[in-house]
Structure formats: structure tokens, C-alpha cells
Amino acid sequence: KVIIALVACGLLMVGENAFAQQTIVLKFSHVVASDAPKGKAAQRFKELAEKATNGRVRVELYSNSTLYKDKEELEALQLGVVQMLAPSLAKFGPLGMKEFEVFDLPYIFPDLQAVHRVTEGPIGKKLFNKLESRGIIGLAYWDNGFKVMSANKPLHLPSDFKMLKMRVQSSKVLDVQMRALGAYPQALAFSDVVEALKTGAVDGTENPPSNLYTQKMYEVQKNITVSNHGYLGYVVIVNKKFWDGLPWDIRAALTQAMAEATKYGNKIAQDENTAALARIKKTGKTAIYYLNDDEGAAWKAALLPIQKGMEARIGKELIDAVHLETL
Ligand code: LMR
């Protein structure tokens, strides 16, 4: 019996050892182009992670929804078919995580510094904790930036949105935002937006310039208004079982790689958006408009009440806490 136990124990050790030597594959799926801010940060993470683990981890990047679209990727992560994603903060409502929609509230952040005070402080941490009950671990917040609006007509005043079909992400706040402007919101997966704009299934959309540029949405949108009415950013998430099951040294190396990739991504995001807008302008296909003070005030008058209107859904306490951080 002792001999059998010893042999079994030895086999177990060999087994464990063999596992330790195996390459750990980390599939990281996302919906944007590889040269969008998120795509670039993901690429940086891959390079840093593979280097720091001496190749013991192989990060497979799947950009542009090649593996999964918005909704499927979250399901796939929970099933453990992919290990890492970076969905926008606007995509957690369908998971029952309505709190993340606080980031979608129009005009809640005056600038990226204010966003970072929230994401890097206790609020950011609290939101991460909420993910764990869904079998998900939050690793980082990544910026894209502030959104512009686009259509095939000038959008100067809220009344210009009347009857327009506007594509939104799957966030109740964004749905309400478009309705407040008199438009009809249409929730669509990111990968379907260009086609929907092309065929006229929707008339317009909102996104930071980097997404409009890298998806070539500007080719089918004659007008862009630089409204900066809301923020779009991401949460990098991993499957909890996968993460908790990693050898500790690998987990530590990946944590460090993520911290560095986050620093890099958040450093380039704003410049990427400025450059994207300039590139769109250079194509001559899309007129770019900046709101004057009166128009800006009219947009705010239409959209600011949403912060109060969404208290019941998102939580007044959370909205107030964000306000305190952004003063
Ligand atoms: C969108 O669906 O518009 C964005 O969330 C896409 C992205 O990931 O930047």
C-alpha cells in the first residue's frame, strides 16, 4: 500500500511538473481594430506578458470581433472559452452590473484626470469587487476617450437629432441619452455598426474619434460634432477560475505586465483620438464641427437631467461619490 501511494504521489508530481512546463494560452478577444487605443494596449500587454514569463504564457490576440461579438464575448469569458476581454464600461448592464453605466452619464467627467480619480480610487475597486460574483476578475481600466456624434447632417443643436436613428451600445443610459435628444436609439454590436450606417439601418452614431477612424465609419458619415458629451473606456477582465488557477509567479508577472500596458494605453489614448480626428478631417469626407457656447449649453440642458433620472437604476450613492471625485 505504501509503495502504491508513493508511486501515485510520484506520478502526481510528474503530472504537476509537466503542467508547470506547459505553455499557458491566454486568449484575449476584443472588438476594435488592432491600431485603436485598446488594440495597441492589448498588443503591449501581449509583448510584456510573454517576455516576463519567458514564453510560458502565450497571449493570443483576437481583434475586430474575429472571435466573438460584444455579447458573445462576455458569455465566452464566463464559460472560460476565452480568458481575457476588455469590453467597454457600457456593456455590463446585460450582465446585471448596472453600476458600470455611471461612466456613460453625459457630462459626468470634466476630463480624463477625473476619470482616473474614480477608476484608480475606491470606486474603481468597489466595481471590480462586484464582478467577482459573476466569475470575473477586473484587472484594469483602460481609456478610450470622450465621444463625438456623427450623422449625415449637421448636428449643432439637440433639435437636429429629431427622428434620427442613432446606434448605441447596450447601455440604458445611452438609450435614454439619445431619447433626450429626440432620436431613436438602436443598440447594435460594434461589429455591425459600419454596415448599419452604410445601409441606412441607422443614421448616426457616437464614439471617440479613434473608433470612427479605425472602423472607417467616417466614410459613411458626412458630419461629426465634437461634443465630448460622454466618456468611453474599458475594463480589462479575466475569467476568475483561470486567474486563480495560475501559478503564483505567472500571476504576478501578468499583473505587472497589465500595470505597464495600462500605463502605456492610458498615455497614448488621448493623442490617438486627436490624431484620428485630424486624419478624418484630412480625408475631406466628413465635416468636423465644434459646438459654440450657446449650442454647448443647449446640449447640456437636454442631457444633464439624465444624471438625476438614472439615480434609481445606477444608485444615487454611487453617482454622488463620482461627483465628489470629479469636483
Ligand atoms: C462600441 O461598441 O461602440 C465600443 O464599445 C467599441 C469599443 O470597444 O471601443
CA distance 14 to 20: 10
Tallying the residues shown for the chain, one arrives at 327
Enumerate long-range contacts of 115-121, CB under 8 Å, 24 or more apart.
115/143, 115/231, 115/233, 116/266, 117/325, 117/326, 118/322, 118/325, 118/326, 119/233, 121/325
Number of C-beta neighbours around residue 301 at 10 A: 11
Q: Examine the pLDDT at 19 and tell me if it is beyond 50.
A: no
Q: Examine the pLDDT at 220 and tell me if it is beyond 70.
A: yes
Q: Examine the pLDDT at 100 and tell me if it is beyond 60.
A: yes
- Region 138-156 average pLDDT: 98
Q: Which atom of ligand 1 is nearest to the CA of 88?
A: 5
Predicted local distance difference test score (pLDDT) of residue 3: 52
- 207 alpha carbon – ligand 1 mean position (Å): 7
Q: Which atom of ligand 1 is nearest to the CA of 189?
A: 2
CB 225 near ligand 1, within 6 Å: no
CB 88 near ligand 1, within 6 Å: yes
Angle CA 20–26–28, to nearest 5: 170
- Region 86-103 average pLDDT: 95
Q: What is the pLDDT of residues 266-287, one digit of tens each?
A: 999 999 999 999 999 999 999 9
- Region 198-205 average pLDDT: 98
CA distance 124 to 66: 29
Q: What is the pLDDT of residues 280-325, one digit of tens each?
A: 999 999 999 999 999 999 999 999 999 999 999 999 999 999 999 9
CA distance 163 to 317: 34
Q: Which cell numbers hold the place of 86?
A: 476588455
CA distance 105 to 268: 24
Residue nearest to atom 2 of ligand 1 (CA): 190
pTM, rounded to two decimals: 0.93
- 87 alpha carbon – ligand 1 mean position (Å): 7
Helix or strand run (H / E) with residue 274: helix 248-283
| Distance of alpha carbon 134 from the chain centroid | 18
Q: What is the pLDDT of residues 48-86, one digit of tens each?
A: 999 999 999 999 999 999 999 999 999 999 999 999 999
